[in-house]
A and B are shown apart, each in its own frame.
Chain A
Amino acid sequence: MVEIIDYVMISTILFGIGIYGLVAKRSAIRMIFAIEIVANAANLNLVAFSRGLSNVQGQTFALFSIAIAAAEVAVGLGIIIIAYRLYKEIDVEEFKSLKG
């Protein structure tokens, strides 16, 4: 029998994969992928708890979160395009002008 804890475990695994991507990858587009995976792990948690508690707010928040993530991807990819135009590179280590 599949229980809520199984969904939470899958969500933990996805979150771990996303954090790994953020730590180890240097390509800006791959970091966007990793952020998306983390956001989806969070959404999965919200919907799983909403199902387990029979609660409407969880699903409502998941919907809001999906919409915010879409906005964030649009702006993030715009910034990557600008950075690519400036540096001819999408490696985040090469974006040096903001380095302290």
Chain B
Amino acid sequence: MTKAMYRYSAFDKQFVNERVAQYRAQTERYLAGELTDDEFRHLRLRNGLYVQRLAPMLRVAVPYGTLSSTQLRALARIARDFDRGYGHLSTRQNVQYNWPELKEVPDILEVLASVEMHAIQTSGNCIRNVTTDEFAGVAADESFDPRACCELIRQWSTSHPEFDWLPRKFKIAVSSASDDRAAIDVHDIGLRVYRDAEGERRVDFRVGGGLGRTPVIAETIRSGLSMRHLLTYLEAIMRVYNRYGRRDNKYKARIKILVRAMTAEGFREKVDAEWELIRASASELTDAEINRVEAFFTPPSYPVLGADVLAAGESSLNAARLADPAFSRWVANSVVPHRQPGFAAVILSTKVTGTPPGDVTDVQMEAVAEWADRFGFGEIRISHQQNFVLPDVPVAALNELWREAVAQGLGEPNAGLLTNIICCPGGDYCSLANAKSIPVAEAIQQRFDDYDYVHDLGPIDLNISGCMNACGHHHVGNIGILGVDKKGEEFYQISIGGHAGHRHRSAAIGDIVGPSVSRAEVANVVGRILDIYVEHRTPEETFVDTVRRLGLEPFKERIYAAAR
């Protein structure tokens, strides 16, 4: 069965192999003392290698979150052979290893290259892995599969001669669905891609969104550009940013600061003037190239199921749900509508109490790969919520999959709910962190372990970051928790009302509810916030709707009145 995935050309293969050789030579020169720490730092970062608190951390690119079962098995092998038997799903749809040996990284890259993968530009001040909707290609609400657009950007941005040494890291996200699951409003560039009434593929460009120290919602600077102009318009944006973005202060170096300083209108004028001079260049995409890349993402040939088969599948699903409330709960939040009748997409939650959010063992990776082959077409996704997604599961197989997922610790019925916490590695691993984040996630999961209560609360995104850099996306958590350092002690600042822009709500940055609290207090404060929500909500409201309607005051009063 042909997967709906990009496959490397001979050119891609050669390029990635050359990149491995280049990085191997850089590592050897560093180990031989021929490269300074600072010089090697910039070089290794462009290949995903951080030096962390305890060991190096290698971030592997999973382009736009799509993996084949073969690739996932290779990731499992790397976890076993080069790490401590596990890996970590990141909030940018990548996979990270926490314990590789610096000198073995070139060997890991070789394993990756053998399955058409790499770690190129997964860190450093360059264009990072492009992210998208984890349900791309199967979502019922999508205009077209955005992954071809992502792949075109991946190729264009790989070792770009001019844009590999930017003022700061640069993140691009693409969405083609009516519900934005890619958080395009909080990226350096967010692209909305769609077909217009005539069927022409078009792109809206948003720029200057981002989290970190200065959270900002992106502004649209160009709407309705033909897909042919995708790369030239990106080039114009990047050139303006590369030349004028601040380089004197890394906290003011992201494009959002430049856009704010120039105003969105001023930035747009500059970009448009630049683009007019390059729009007709050889970098203008051809229809042949767009079609070539798009052809890789042709949907698999789903079996056409008759009405009687579909009805039988539905009724057996309903019977199984009635017979088993635990299964029913899982179906309610982990099974996602599919564009193909008789199929569903399934979220496999990594958020099990006692395991750091996003961590998965080699055994779990192998199991997911096997399910992808057995139930689907050998394809897996990683979501920015740090879960696996199986994009193609027959409805009739859901119960069987669920039983096996539960046995593997991947059947937690909490997708979209309070305990499906987005969480960075935090102070346990990361040298940038001000505070630990994993124990906070665990304390919250332990406190809210009543499934019925958590389900009754409805959709809530609780996001935790161990520092300002906001890898845990705390600003756009409906409840956001940020680790801060106060005179050497770990404290946590709590915000509410943030939103990443999915579930058909506008993206928003959360508001801080008051003074930061100790680690022991965090779960109590969350509990009080939820009490207020439960008291005040109307039947059709989600948590964030209630917060938006009530404003901050009722929460502030109660949280801190009780804490006194």
A and B associate in one complex: no
B residues engaging A (CB < 8 A)? none
* A residues whose Cβ falls under 8 Å from a Cβ of B: none
